[in-house]
Every structure is written in C-alpha cells, then in structure tokens.
Amino acid sequence: MQYLDFHCHLDDERYDGARERIVDDCVARGFARLVTVADAHSERSLRVTEELLARSPRTACVVGAHPHKAAAYDGAVERALERFAAKAVGIGEAGLDYHYNFSPPEDQRRVFARQIAIAKEMGKPLIVHSRAAEREALALIDAGRFAGPVVFHCFTGDAGAAGEIAARGWCISVSGIVTFPKAEDLREIVRTFPAAQLFTETDAPYLAPVPFRGKLNTPAWVAYVAEAVAALRGLTVEELNARVVENFARLAAPPAA
C-alpha cells in the first residue's frame, strides 16, 4: 500500500534506538514516501536526518526553523538552513503559532519572512506551521511575493482560510486530528478540498490518531489518517493514496518555469 507521510519528526529523541526500524518497517509496508522534518536549530537533527536520507530513497526531508524557536533564530541558524536545503524537498516547517506563543509574535513574523524569502530564492515549496494564525500567515506569504507551492501542514484553520489556500492553488496536509471526535469542522473541509491539493501526515511523534490517542505516534499510523480522509471523500484508501503520491511528485519536482 503506497502510503505517504508528508510530515513527521523522525529526528525526535524519543525515537532513539527505534528510528531505523521505523523507517525499514514503513519501507517494507510499501510506503511511497516518509517526509521527516529537519530542525535548522539543531546539529543533531540535521545529522540524524542525513542518516535517514542515506538509509532509504523512500525517505525525504524538509528543513526549517520552527516558530516556537523564533527568538533564538540568528545568522548561524539561517546558514545551516540554507546549506541543508539542497538536500530538502521544501523549506519548513516555518510559520506562526499564536496558540502557544513560545516566541514573541514579532520574532515569529521576522523568522517566517526570512524563510519565505529563502524558499522563493531557492525555488522550493514552503511548508507552513500555523496555529490560530492562518490569515496572517497568508498575508506574510503574499507580502513576500511568494507564489508557491505552499503546504499548510497539520491544517487546523477554518473554512475561510481553507478556501483562500485552495483558491491560490496551494495545499493542506491532514493529520490524525481528522480522526478526533471534535474535529467536525476539519472533516467538513477535508470532504471538499481540491483533491490535487491534499496530503496525509502523522506529525509523529505528536497527534497519534484514534485509536491510539495519547500514545507516541509513528509514521505507520498514517494509515488511520488515510482511511479517514478516503472515507470522507468516498474513495478507497488505494485511490486516496494514489492521489497523494501524485500530488507529492508534482510538488517535489515542479515543472521548469
């Protein structure tokens, strides 16, 4: 089965000792792709990600500086990000988190704008993290005159934001939240969002889907996300996965301008 996990954090220390087995297991299950997030703030994360890329061609990565760490972003982090970006299929996750505000909003906006500029300069897709900040994230991307592609990972915005993302031809990636009982608004968006602009992800180790809520998430459980999304759209899981894999191929290798 050609599952695709568009966003997971295999660099997480909770996977120490299990990381290689997790990748090998997904490859054995026939995963099309596992996209892990490299953290430009962490030499350890970059090293671990490099090892995963070497382990299997089914792995891919994005690299970015998370809004939670925006207050610590400096020239050295940016240089590390730019260097590593050559190996990455996208820049991110980058964005705004006004739910937690672990870094001051002005720092988050500054660091997001820098990464929008880097994605634009390098011709890479931008992978956005947005919590309670979709409108402002869209405004900053527009202000940076970045035309895309853009993927809002683990989308949790409202129907209005989803509509704006869809109208720009951009994408959302759906996490295990789609299986949560209270996520009816998200399910409504997933039912009708353009099929060519959809991805599935785990965001592992976070956000384990039903029936594993609260447990340490793992990329293999993207199966539960795909099953939920497929059911909402009246597709078989095979059909849904085929679309997602196709969408990824288009995103990772955009037509020459």
Of residues 221 and 237, the one with the C-beta less far from Zn ion: 221
Q: CA-to-CA distance for 109 and 116, rounded, in angstroms? A: 10
- Does 69 bind Zn ion (CB under 5 A)? Our answer is no
Contacts of residue 94, Cβ cutoff 8 Å, sequence gap at least 6: 64, 65, 66, 67, 111, 112, 115, 116, 119, 126, 127, 128, 129
Q: How far is the CB of 93 from Zn ion (least distance, A)?
A: 5
Binding mask 123-162 for Zn ion (x = CB under 5 A): ------x---------------------------------
For Zn ion, the closer of residues 156 and 247 by Cβ is 156
Stretch that binds Zn ion, among 25-33, 44-52, 92-100, 158-166 (CB under 5 A): 92-100
Residue 131 backbone dihedrals phi, psi, to 5 degrees:
-120, 120
Distance, CA of 174 to CA of 203 (rounded, Å):
9
Q: How far is the CB of 256 from Zn ion (least distance, A)?
A: 30
Helix (H, G, I), strand (E, B) or coil at 30: coil
Which H helix or E strand runs over 5?
A: strand 4-8
Alpha-carbon span 3 to 67, nearest angstrom = 28
Q: Which residue is nearest to Zn ion (CB)?
A: 129
Quote the CA–CA distance of 187 and 209 in Å, as a whole number.
Answer: 14
Q: Which residue, 174 or 230, is less far from Zn ion as judged by CB?
A: 174
If one asks whether residue 93 binds Zn ion (CB under 5 A), the answer comes out as: yes
Peptide bond into 205 cis (omega under 30): yes
Minimum Å gap between C-beta 95 and Zn ion is 7
**Beta carbon of residue 226, minimum distance to Zn ion (angstroms, whole number):** 19
CB closer to Zn ion, 11 vs 237: 11
- Give min distance, CB of 37 to Zn ion, in A: 8
Give residues in contact with Zn ion (CB under 5 A). Answer: 93, 129
